[in-house]
C-alpha cells in the first residue's frame, strides 16, 4: 500500500535530497548533512543500533518501521534499508506524514 508518506518520498528523491545507502548515510550524518534517517524493518540489528547511536549523538530524527519492499517499489531500487533526507522542510513533512499514517 502506497500512502502519502511514500509518495512524498518519491518527490524527495526527484528533488535530489535523498541519500541512499548505508555508507553514504553514515558519511552524511557525520558531516551534519542529513536531517532525517529512515531505516527499514529488514535492517540488521547491528545497523539499527549503529544508526540509533548516530542519531542520538548528532540529534537527527529516526524513522525505523518502514518496509524495505515498499521503499523499493516507490524508489525503484531493490534492497533499500538505509535512507537519509538532506532537506529540513522535507524532513518535517515526512515526519508529519509518517505520524499521520501510523495513528
Per domain, the residue ranges of the chain are 4-101
Q: Could you tell me the pLDDT band of residue 65, with boundaries at 50, 70 and 90?
A: confident
- Answer whether 48's CB lies under 8 Å from 39's CB: yes
Distance CA 28, CA 11 (A): 20
User: Which class is domain 4-101?
Assistant: alpha beta
Per residue in 6-48, pLDDT tens?
Answer: 999 999 999 999 999 999 999 999 999 999 999 999 999 999 9
- Answer whether 21's CB lies under 8 Å from 82's CB: yes
- Reading the block at residue 46, the C-alpha cell is 547491528
The secondary structure of residue 21, as a DSSP letter, is S
Q: Which helix (H) or strand (E) holds 29?
A: helix 22-30
pTM for this entry: 0.93
Q: CA Rg, the chain, in Å?
A: 12
Q: Could you tell me the pLDDT band of residue 90, with boundaries at 50, 70 and 90?
A: very high
Amino acid at each position: 500500500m502506497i500512502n502519502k508518506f511514500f509518495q512524498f518520498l518519491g518527490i524527495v528523491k526527484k528533488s535530489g535530497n535523498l541519500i541512499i545507502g548505508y555508507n553514504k548515510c553514515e558519511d552524511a550524518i557525520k558531516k551534519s548533512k542529513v536531517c532525517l534517517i529512515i531505516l527499514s524493518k529488514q535492517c540488521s540489528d547491528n545497523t539499527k543500533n549503529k544508526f540509533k547511536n548516530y542519531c542520538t549523538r548528532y540529534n537527527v530524527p529516526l524513522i525505523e518501521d518502514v518496509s524495505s519492499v515498499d521503499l523499493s517499489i516507490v524508489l525503484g531500487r531493490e534492497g533499500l534499508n538505509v535512507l537519509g533526507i538532506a532537506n529540513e522542510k522535507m524532513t518535517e513533512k515526512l515526519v508529519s506524514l509518517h505520524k499521520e499514517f501510523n495513528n
